[in-house]
Structure 1
Amino acid sequence: MSSTSSGRRRHAALHLFLIIVLICAVIAAALYVGFSLVAGKPTVGDPRCTVVSAQGTTYTFTPEQTRNASIVSAEALARGLDQRASVIALATAQQESELRNIDYGDRDSVGLFQQRPSQGWGTAEEIMDPHYATVAFYNHLEHVDYHSMSVTQAAQAVQQSGVPDAYAKHEDSSAALTDAFHGAQPAMLNCVLDPVDASPSTSEGSASPAARADEAVVGLTRDYGDTLGGVRTEGESAVVEPDDSESGWAAAHWAVANAERLGITRVSYDGRTWDRGHQTSTRFSPVPGWESAEELTPEGQAAPPSPQVVISTATSQDPA
């Protein structure tokens, strides 16, 4: 009899232990989602973009954050500024708005950099244009000896923030984004997005692929100026003839970052391809990211890498 009671007690204790473990797991998952939302980061299953630094650290952003980062970083290149200027600008935008173009803030602050109309940054409507806000930031940064300053000091010299020490924590992620949009390393940036037809944030969702390709050419030229090389439309694709490998990867990463907005479905450069439809994962396989031509060819035999960046907006394609 005592043996039976002892067994029941052990069974009850085990049952209670499993319940406690389950409750802890639920709480941990809820906290993870909560912290992700507070930090402005996408949760698992949401469209998201990741950038991997040269040191192997992975940073995750929403498509909107990544798209805004491409504008900020490309403008530095277009102005002939170095990567440090881009890092400072991105760290500032991360701290001020989490790289979101918000229409509210402290007092009359709005936009990516939380610039204030009352302080001479422009009208609220102008500041809400990410390109205008970015240009305004660099106009001020160029009058600062930022090479002799830390990221925080340089950002504070422009922003005059009430929290002057908050920018430093974004330096590493800003450096990774800068490397991607300046083409310092290949295949650094990947985005997992909804299909084009199911993406409600695609502003050109009803436009033809050819029209979306034209818009990609306009966007590349607007953001990078003439620093990438030749940019043109070919049918349902935008094509970049880069001046060098860095220019090519800058354009390729920009295209992935802007894929949700422009309805871009595939980007190919230097023997690697980002295919929007392939960016799914299972419990046992990671998101593929950029795939080599050999991986995308059934026979494993691919043509030599193209020197062009090909940005496709077609919704269905033959295998590469």
Structure 2
Amino acid sequence: MLEPIYWAIQFSSDSWINIDRINLLQVFALVVFMFLRPLLKREQQIIVGLSVLFIIQTVDIHPNSSWQVSILDVGHGLAVLIRKGNQHILYDTGVKWETGSMAEMVIAPVLRYRGVDDVGLLILSHSDSDHAGGREYIEQHFTPISKLSSQRISGYSPCVDKTMLNWNGLTLSAVWPPKLVKRAYNPHSCVIRVTDGVSSILLTGDIEAIGELLLAKKGDEIRSDILLVPHHGSRSSSTDYFLNAVDPKVAIASVAKGNQWDLPSEIVVNKYMTRNIKWLDTGSDGQISIDFSRNGWQIMNIRNRQSLSWYRKILRKGVE
């Protein structure tokens, strides 16, 4: 019974069209206008057409957001998008496998939906596959203008302690590692604090206890409102002295649902919760986005927004 479907699929691969939100809005407006056209006089058609065109060109997708951070749902791995205006930073690229990658399956569709043709800045925390697996795909398809890494890679600038960038009104401060390395493993992860002068987020890669101890001595240099949980919530990280120094209000972990490593560790999650730090993770919440504005920030996650879907209710009651 499935044979006709398999036969038809081969003809659909070349007809797939990537369309961003603005273009989607334009198509919708055009369809609505075509339906209304027979009901309007010629002068009214011109007025309505020009009005719709003006609205589309001036609409702001994020009217209340100064900048946004999105922790993408890439399973066991990490990919963080930072957006301000029409510019984007990508911190890590998710995992790859023999026939594909999270960069191709998750990151690219998000960027294309946003109308992004190139990434302004690509940052690799370290070189493990679950963090840098999609590097080549991103480089090939989104041609990053600038690139940072704590590992010596041709074409990449150093991401080491004291590196500071002013990017589109945001300040990016690298606080770890102390120096470039030949091969960046977990302890050499590039740790970056991003702030607009009011709110801040600390991106930590896979740093572990020793690195956290040295980072904790930096005090206010790492203090942040939101913490990207180090090493996917592993017990090798999120030490007490590190959490005391960062003093976050929200902790977000990038993990796969039901992963083979049992991450995040229950002990680690409880450590955050006993400190009254709000805990979120992509395994439970899906993609997590934080909209920053003059009034603070607002957290949204895809899974909760879609939780009212009828099929999800049936599955949760009948299966889970």
Give the alignment's TM-score, normalised by structure 2.
0.29
Quick one: higher RCO (CA 8 Å, sep 6+), 1 or 2? 1
More strand by share: 2
More helix by share: 1
Give the alignment's TM-score, normalised by structure 1.
0.29
